[in-house]
Amino acid sequence: MKKILLLLSLSIMLFSVTFASTNTTSNPEKVIVNQLSKRNDHLSDVLYRMIEMNPTINIENNIPFILQNKCMGLLISEKTKKFTISDVKFENDFLLIEMLLEEWEAKGWVSSSRETYYYDDDGFMIESIGETWDGSSWVNAAKILYSYDAYGYMSGMLMEMWTGDSWMYYMNMTVTYHPNGAMEEMCMEMWMGDDWLLMSRSIFTYDANWNMIEELSETYDWVSGTMVYDNKSTYTYDANGNHIEKITQDWASKGWINYERTTWQYDVNNYETERLEQYWIGSDWVNSARHSFTYDGNGNMTEDLREWWSGGTWVNDQLHTFDYDVNDNLIQDLYQTWAGNWENYKLYTYTYDANGNLIEELWQYWETDRSWVNDEKYTYTYSETSIDDNQFSQIENNIFSFPNPFNPDVAETTISFHLPVRATVNLAIYNLKGQRVKTLLSNSILAIDDHSYVWNGKSDQGERVKNGVYFYKLICEDKAVIKSILLMK
């Protein structure tokens, strides 16, 4: 089940990173990455709601949170739960185009699943396709289509599952925003075979400073066939805009009942130093867990100590120790558990390319014979999104169509070009009015090579076009070349 849900996990994270309880005021990327990476106990409310409605989902090995932050630059505001253009768009020169998961079996790595990502001309992710390896070939598993509103905020996520011969609707998530980008409502629908059924809805309220002060969640009640209250979270902030308290209440009959409370403490740099989790028992808040965080001089979190409340005292439970390279990239996360002393449990190792892109993530677990054993490996592939002037000149000077002029009744015309770098390419035919007539390539990622594409003189609708001058437009990343074709019958 883990293989099929990789794409689901990643896409939900695109929405759900915002729901994690973390301070983003100071050095947000480092804080989010370090606190969320590989911690199942930090999964968002959204993901948990998905799990509650889909009990078959196994989240034990969800997509690494670090991917959302290091590779995709998702610095989403915790206060406003706001997706800005830069949050869902790759602003650097590289697009993540593939993630491959391999699992260790016997003495070698075996392919398990992969995800491929597609983007529009502005670098916004518009589609993700997840596949599983059946031992001999890749098989479709899940597909997600992303949509955006007029301001560039991610407003929709439609997920489809592969049935064996076709795609079938599965889940649809929509988000509406205030004009300033603050998320106002998020809805999740499930496909019931012939129509969508609204399963959950979250409504967000803000104070005058646009700090989120309440999240009200509703769920579908199968008995009444209506949406009913589920839970409510209220937030309190300090003068610096840091979370200092979150209280979650559940709806029971005709009133709200306390369920969970989280409180935060910060140092003079506004770095989170302690997080206390409590549950409502009887008539009082009772301690449950406590996290203590330490940082280095660059603001990188170096330690996350988790303790359980037991017998009226705090008892060690888990310890995460983080190491970084000279560029402040997280390169190792050592996860230990307490059994009278700290014992190794899991080790996560991260490798980057010269451009600072995460290219490999290795998961290992500690064997009783005192050695690290391979478990899973994630490999990330990127496409450079910018082409320098010299590279583009090579494309511009060597692209051509032949024959030109051409008569489609006699021979089709072939548009040929050479790519000196791997790139995302769009190629289309336009008429004199600037209207697109035929799409030959749409956000296709092409390798360094010679490429040729045929136009048969027909439109996207399969209709013969009239005699005249047409233009073919080749877009490589952020540059375009336009040349003419004469069609004569």
Closest CA to 62 of 36, 34, 95: 36
Q: 176 with 154: CB under 8 angstroms?
A: no
Closest CA to 54 of 101, 18, 9, 113: 9
pLDDT of residue 232: 97
DSSP 410: T
Q: Supply φ then ψ for residue 225, to 5 degrees.
A: 70, 25
State how far the Cα of 33 lies from the Cα of 17, in Å rounded to an integer: 10
Of the two residues 146 and 443, the one the predictor is more confident about is: 146
End-to-end CA separation in angstroms for the chain: 56
> Which pLDDT band, with edges at 50, 70 and 90, does 428 fall under?
very high
- Check whether residue 415 and residue 464 sit in a common domain: yes
- Check whether residue 428 and residue 373 sit in a common domain: no
CA 178 to chain centre: 22
| Listed range (34-43, 310-319, 331-340, 404-413) with the worst mean pLDDT | 34-43
Residue-wise pLDDT for 125-160, tens only, equals 889 999 999 999 999 999 999 988 877 778 899 999
Last residue of a domain, one of 366, 384, 402: 384
Q: Cα dist. 118→72, 115, 131, 277, 456 in Å? A: 13, 10, 14, 40, 26
DSSP 182: -
- Check whether residue 380 and residue 462 sit in a common domain: no
Mean of pLDDT values over 22-34: 28
Most confident of 2-6, 353-357, 479-483: 479-483
Closest CA to 80 of 237, 303, 228: 237
Last residue of a domain, one of 384, 410, 425: 384
- Check whether residue 155 and residue 177 sit in a common domain: yes
- Check whether residue 340 and residue 454 sit in a common domain: no
- Check whether residue 325 and residue 473 sit in a common domain: no
Which residue range is the domain that position 197 belongs to? 2-384
Most confident of 38-52, 149-163, 396-410, 438-452: 396-410
Q: Would you state the structure tokens that stand for residue 46, as one six-digit string?
A: 């959204």
State how far the Cα of 103 lies from the Cα of 115, in Å rounded to an integer: 15
DSSP-assigned states of every residue in 215-243: EEEEEEETTTTEEEEEEEEEEEE-TTS-E
Check which CATH number belongs to the domain holding 405 and give it. 2.60.40.4070
Q: Cα dist. 9→40, 59, 343 in Å? A: 12, 8, 29
> Which pLDDT band, with edges at 50, 70 and 90, does 47 fall under?
very low
pLDDT of residue 368: 81
Place of tokens 């199942």: 40
Mean of pLDDT values over 158-169: 92
- Check whether residue 214 and residue 320 sit in a common domain: yes
- Is the dihedral angle over the CA atoms 310, 314, 317, 318 positive or is it negative? positive
- Continuous segment of H or E residues that includes residue 35: helix 28-36
> Which pLDDT band, with edges at 50, 70 and 90, does 382 fall under?
confident
pLDDT of residue 386: 64
312 pLDDT higher than 90: yes
DSSP 432: T
Residue-wise pLDDT for 95-121, tens only, equals 788 999 999 998 899 999 999 988 776
Q: 113 with 3: CB under 8 angstroms?
A: yes
- Is the dihedral angle over the CA atoms 322, 326, 331, 332 positive or is it negative? negative
- Check whether residue 307 and residue 428 sit in a common domain: no
Burial of 101 (0-12, 13-18, 19+ CB in 10 A): buried
Q: Supply φ then ψ for residue 435, to 5 degrees.
A: -85, 135
- Check whether residue 378 and residue 410 sit in a common domain: no
- Check whether residue 414 and residue 374 sit in a common domain: no
pLDDT of residue 152: 74
| Rounded percentage of the chain residues whose pLDDT exceeds 90 | 55
Q: What is the pTM of this model?
A: 0.67
Domain count, the chain: 2
pLDDT of residue 351: 94
74 pLDDT higher than 60: no
pLDDT of residue 80: 33
- Check whether residue 363 and residue 436 sit in a common domain: no
Place of tokens 């402040």: 328
Q: Do you find a cis peptide bond into 405, omega within 30 degrees of 0?
A: yes
Mean of pLDDT values over 480-487: 92
Other CB atoms within a 10 A radius of the CB of residue 21 amount to 20
pLDDT of residue 443: 74
State how far the Cα of 56 lies from the Cα of 252, in Å rounded to an integer: 26
Last residue of a domain, one of 362, 384, 406: 384
- Check whether residue 369 and residue 437 sit in a common domain: no
State how far the Cα of 380 lies from the Cα of 100, in Å rounded to an integer: 7
Q: Cα dist. 186→95, 225, 466 in Å? A: 27, 20, 47
